[in-house]
């Protein structure tokens, strides 16, 4: 049992379904990291139905989602550390520590996605684009047509149909410029908790000149120079957010934005990004009912049910 198992559960409904939510930081949390969490549906969901697991191992965080007959029953998010399988195991352990009568051996089918998918011990792997499209469709509803996802080291915009099938996408994964890793780096440099970086960037009445580069190395140098020149932490935070928005909008406009608009990943937890993006695009993002970082794993778990059924038909 991990140390996190001693944390008391806080009742929290997810999309109207009662469950228990936990702040999960067994290894401690650095201020520049997003808090990790676990949610488990509050019933004996492991008793019946086809149990599938989706695993999304990214560059900075890893997620596990469990579904019974395509209904979400549990999820966890943890910091990616060690091998992909080790990160997946810790995420699953976080659920198992809190789900009464849950038996890992009872999982019928497992699908892996994300950067670490090729190294995972799973039944099948699928691309993160495919899984994010289906996951956003499940989590945000069938009206979603445009999905923006910012990972630790990539940025992707996806167009989907009413069933979550990907119709078009564009991805920038050449470096960490303007991604989650970049925001973490700024929070660390400014000695600000990552959860407060976004609100801090919105605390000024007027937006300052954006930093000239979102490249993590060059941006850190420029931010350091601005601090030495007397810029406040608030102004520097705002300047970096403005530059990130420019980077995101450039990518989105190449694919286009169609309502409804959903934002997934850690970026959706940053009001400094979400508010600026809504203002710039003139589109309001859907308010999430779930943790915004579980879209990829949700899509993977959902696809797992169909793949399990196909497996049964072929035997």
Check whether 134 has a pLDDT greater than 50: yes
Q: Is the pLDDT of residue 9 over 80?
A: no
Q: What is the pLDDT of residue 5?
A: 31
Given a cut of 60, is residue 27 above it in pLDDT? no
Position 26 scores a pLDDT of 46
Q: How confident is the model at residue 22 (pLDDT cuts 50, 70, 90)?
A: low
Dihedrals φ, ψ of 112, to 5°?
-110, 150
Within 10 angstroms of residue 8's Cβ, the number of other Cβ atoms is 7
Query: Checking DSSP bridges between strand 51-57 and strand 109-113, what pairing results, if any?
Result: parallel
Three-state DSSP class for 16? coil
Do the beta carbons of residue 260 and residue 141 sit within 8 Å?
Answer: yes
Q: Which of 129-143, 165-179, 234-248 has the lowest mean pLDDT?
A: 165-179
Q: What is the pLDDT of residues 36-74, one digit of tens each?
A: 888 998 876 766 799 999 999 998 899 999 999 999 999
Both structure tokens of 178: 């303007």
Q: In the predicted model, what is the mean pLDDT of residues 89-117? A: 91
Residue 8 has pLDDT above 50, yes or no: no
Residue 182's pLDDT band (cuts 50, 70, 90)? confident
Identify the band that residue 312 occupies on the pLDDT scale cut at 50, 70 and 90.
confident
DSSP three-state, residue 52: strand
pLDDT of residue 315: 58
Using alpha carbons, select from 9, 10, 16, 11 the residue that is nearest to residue 289. 16
Ordered domains of the chain (ranges, CATH)? 3-136+293-314 (3.30.420.40), 145-281 (3.30.420.40)
pLDDT in tens, 252-278: 999 999 989 999 998 899 999 999 999
The per-residue pLDDT for range 146-166, each reduced to its tens digit, is 999 988 888 899 999 999 999
pLDDT at 12 over 70: no
Kind and range of the H or E run holding 83: none
Dump pLDDT digits (tens) for 198-222: 999 999 989 899 998 878 888 899 9
Sheet order of strands, 261-265 included: 166-172, 155-160, 146-150, 261-265
Question: Of the ranges 5-19, 135-149, 205-219, 288-302, which one carries the lowest mean pLDDT score?
Answer: 5-19
Residue 175 has pLDDT above 70, yes or no: no
Burial per residue of 238-255, b for 16 or more beta-carbon CB atoms within 10 angstroms, e otherwise: bbbbbbbbebbeebbeeb
Residue with the bigger pLDDT between 315 and 124: it is 124
Q: How far is CA 232 from the centre of its chain?
A: 30
Q: Mean per-residue pLDDT for 163-186? A: 83
Question: What is the token pair recorded at 120?
Answer: 């995972």
Written as one string, the DSSP assignment of 111-139 is EEESTTGGGS--SEE--HHHHHHHHHHHH
Highest mean pLDDT: which range of 25-34, 89-98, 127-136? 127-136
- Around Cβ 123, how many Cβ atoms within 10 Å? 17
The whole-number pLDDT of residue 207 equals: 87
* pLDDT category of residue 181 using cuts at 50, 70 and 90: confident
């Amino acid at each position: 049992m991990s140390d996190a198992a001693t944390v008391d559960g806080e009742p929290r409904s997810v999309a109207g379904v009662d469950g228990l939510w936990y702040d999960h930081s067994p290894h401690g949390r650095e201020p520049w990291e997003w808090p990790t969490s676990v949610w488990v549906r509050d019933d004996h969901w492991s008793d019946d139905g086809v149990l599938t697991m989706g695993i999304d191992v990214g560059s900075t965080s890893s997620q596990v989602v469990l579904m019974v007959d395509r209904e979400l029953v549990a999820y966890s998010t943890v910091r990616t550390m060690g091998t992909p399988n080790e990160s997946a195991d810790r995420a699953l352990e976080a659920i198992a520590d809190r789900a009464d009568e849950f038996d890992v051996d009872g999982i019928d089918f497992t699908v892996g996605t994300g950067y670490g998918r090729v190294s995972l011990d799973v039944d099948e792997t699928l691309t993160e684009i495919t899984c994010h499209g289906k996951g956003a469709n499940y989590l945000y509803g069938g009206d979603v047509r445009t999905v923006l996802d910012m990972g630790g080291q990539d940025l992707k915009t996806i167009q989907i149909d009413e069933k979550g099938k990907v119709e078009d996408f564009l991805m920038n994964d050449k470096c960490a410029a303007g991604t989650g890793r970049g925001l973490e780096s700024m929070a660390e440099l400014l000695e600000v908790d990552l959860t407060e970086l976004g609100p801090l960037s919105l605390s000024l009445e007027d937006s300052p000149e954006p930093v000239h580069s979102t490249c993590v190395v060059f941006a850190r140098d420029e931010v350091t120079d601005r601090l030495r020149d007397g810029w406040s932490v608030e102004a520097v935070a705002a300047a970096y957010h403005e530059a990130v928005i420019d980077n995101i909008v450039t990518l989105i406009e190449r694919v286009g934005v169609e309502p409804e608009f959903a934002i997934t990943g850690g970026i959706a937890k940053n009001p400094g990004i979400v508010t600026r993006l809504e203002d710039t695009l003139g589109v309001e993002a859907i308010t999430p009912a779930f943790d915004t970082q579980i879209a990829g794993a949700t899509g993977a778990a959902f696809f797992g049910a169909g793949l399990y059924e196909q497996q049964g038909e072929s035997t």
